[in-house]
Amino acid sequence: MDPTSQIIVALDCDSRAAADALVEQLGDECRVYKVGLELLTAAGPDVIKDLVARGKEVFLDLKLFEIPHSVAGAVRAAGALGVSMITVHGMGGSGIMSAAVEAAREFPGMRVLTLTVVTSMSDADLTDIGVGDTVDEQVLRLARLAQKAGCHGVIASPQDVAVLRRALGPDALIITPGVTLSGESPADHARPGTPHAAITAGASRVVVGRTVTRAANPVTAFRVVRASLTP
């Protein structure tokens, strides 16, 4: 895959104006954007429509975790907006994953991805909610469950990629948030890694946030990330 298409820039903005300004700055450099709960709540679905109209791919990261009927409805609504990828939460089980996959069949270009364990969580966090397995064990269990349900891939930390690629095979999409360049703070991520390490381990795409969005020059920062993906 072209390195440019391997980079998803997270539009974790608190307003439509801030998101529009970043997209305008990046111009043709960036082809894929992540829209999450913050921006969708602040700006509504029109932000997705406008990104699609500009020829951008949209990764709608809502981590859907509801009854299967509601998840299916949300997936269909996302498909109607032109979303390319949407996330469901693996902890919701096979029922919601299967419902999402079935709903997505109406939109052949949309991929359903399952969140395994969020990159901010550690073994201790899983213990707090009554999960006795380690993060590594839980990630692998949910990834296999997602594959069995027909999901197109998973969301996992850079540190999980190598094991997941071996377990899921060459065709699964593996998208990694929690990537930062060498020397940068990992912020909220407990299991970070560099973009280069993630892609080398077998990630399909990486999600980049503050590295680009809070840079003095987002275009220059994006180019640095892109250059880091090539040998």
pLDDT digits (tens, 9 = 90+) for 84-97: 999 999 999 999 99
Range 39-49 average pLDDT: 97
Choose among 43, 13, 216: nearest CA to 23: 13
Q: Report domain extents, the chain.
A: 3-229
Average pLDDT of the chain is 93
Q: How far apart are the first and last CA of the chain?
A: 14
Give residue 143's pLDDT: 96
Residue 162 clears pLDDT 60, i.e. is over it: yes
Give the number of C-alpha atoms closer than 13 A to the C-alpha of residue 150, restricted to the C-beta side: 11
CA distance 202 to 166: 9
The tens digit of pLDDT for each residue in 59-105 reads 999 999 999 999 999 999 999 999 999 999 999 999 999 999 999 99
Give residue 182's pLDDT: 74
Residue 107 makes CB contacts below 8 A (sequence gap 6+) with: 76, 79, 80
Range 4-21 average pLDDT: 95
**Residue 180 C-alpha from the chain's centroid:** 15
| Cβ proximity of 78 and 60 under 8 Å | yes
Give percent of the chain with pLDDT exceeding 70: 96
Other residues' Cβ atoms within 10 Å of the Cβ of residue 172: 19
CA distance 212 to 110: 26
The tens digit of pLDDT for each residue in 207-230 reads 999 899 999 999 999 999 999 998
Residue 184: which pLDDT band, with cuts at 50, 70 and 90?
low
Express the helix, strand and coil content of the chain in percent, nearest 5 each.
Answer: 50, 15, 35
CA distance 100 to 106: 11
Choose among 143, 151, 198, 201: nearest CA to 168: 143
Model pTM? 0.93
Going by the DSSP 8-state scheme, the letter that residue 101 receives in this structure is: H
Helix (H, G, I), strand (E, B) or coil at 36: strand
Q: Hey, what CATH topology would domain 3-229 get?
A: TIM Barrel (3.20.20)
Residue 203 clears pLDDT 70, i.e. is over it: yes
Q: Which long-range contacts (CB under 8 A, 24 or more apart) does 133-137 make?
A: 135/191, 136/160, 136/163
Catalytic residue status for 49:
no
Catalytic residue, candidates 49, 56, 63, 148: 63
The tens digit of pLDDT for each residue in 136-152 reads 999 999 999 999 999 99
